[in-house]
Structure 1
Amino acid sequence: MSQTVVVTVKPGSRKGPLVETADDGSLTIFVREPAIEGKATEAAARLLAKHLGVPRSAVTLTAGATSRVKRFRVD
């Protein structure tokens, strides 16, 4: 059973690595990696997997490769 998770990624953040949950349940992921060549996306996927307690291989980017708002499928 898979689940879709929509997150906002903040690349190049001095605050990261960190996952914040807002009052409305939305997730914001702060990563130190720059938004160059998918580095921030990969870091966000690793951090999301750790936050959800699943292996990195269970998290797949489905939309938003070049956007700060990303959609991941979690298996």
Structure 2
Amino acid sequence: MDARPWRATAGGIEVRVRATPRGGRDALDGIETRDDGLPVLKVRVRAAPEDGAANAAIRDVLRRALGLPASAVTLAAGATARIKLFRITGDGPALARRLETLTDP
């Protein structure tokens, strides 16, 4: 798979996420290419999509998977949408390699 749902930025990476709230567990669930060709990182969380709980849970899944403090992961777009954009500060190439490792089948 060539297309990845993340891209390097000046201060880290941006990750496009497809959220699955009430997903039964908190976990990264691989990469999916949508019908429109857009690659997304699938993240499922137990939290319901109420009062930002699911967004906070997704942020926590990303932060724990990458071994980062909570302050390093922020929701940039899509607070109420299923497709969200998260910004993660840090060493962009190293973060991309870590995501690559975590999502390899």
TM-score range, shorter chain: 0.7 to 0.9
| Matched residue SS, 1:57 | helix
TM-score by length of 2: 0.65
Larger radius of gyration, structure 1 or 2? 2
Which position in structure 1 is the counterpart of 2:62? 48
Any unmatched runs of 5+ in structure 1?
none
Q: 1: distance between equivalents of 2:32 and 2:60?
A: 23
Q: 2: distance between equivalents of 1:19 and 1:51?
A: 8
Q: 2: distance between equivalents of 1:17 and 1:45?
A: 11
Aligned length: 74
The partner residue of 2:31 within 22, 36, 45 is 22
Q: Is the 8 A contact 2:21 2:54 kept in 1?
A: yes
- Quote the offset at 1:37 in angstroms: 0.6
After superposition, what is the alpha-carbon deviation per residue over 1:36-69, rounded to whole angstroms, capped at 9, x for unaligned? 0100000000111111221111001100000111
Answer with 50-59 or 32-41: which moved more.
Answer: 50-59
- Residues 1-75 of structure 1 aligned to structure 2 (within 5 Å): 1-14=11-24, 16-22=25-31, 26-75=40-89
TM-score by length of 1: 0.88
Which structure has the highest helix share of the two?
A: 2
Runs of 4+ in 1 over 3 A off after TM superposition: 23-26
Percent of aligned pairs sharing the same letter: 35
Aligned residue type for 1:41: N
Q: 1: distance between equivalents of 2:13 and 2:31?
A: 19
Any unmatched runs of 5+ in structure 2?
1-10, 34-38, 90-105
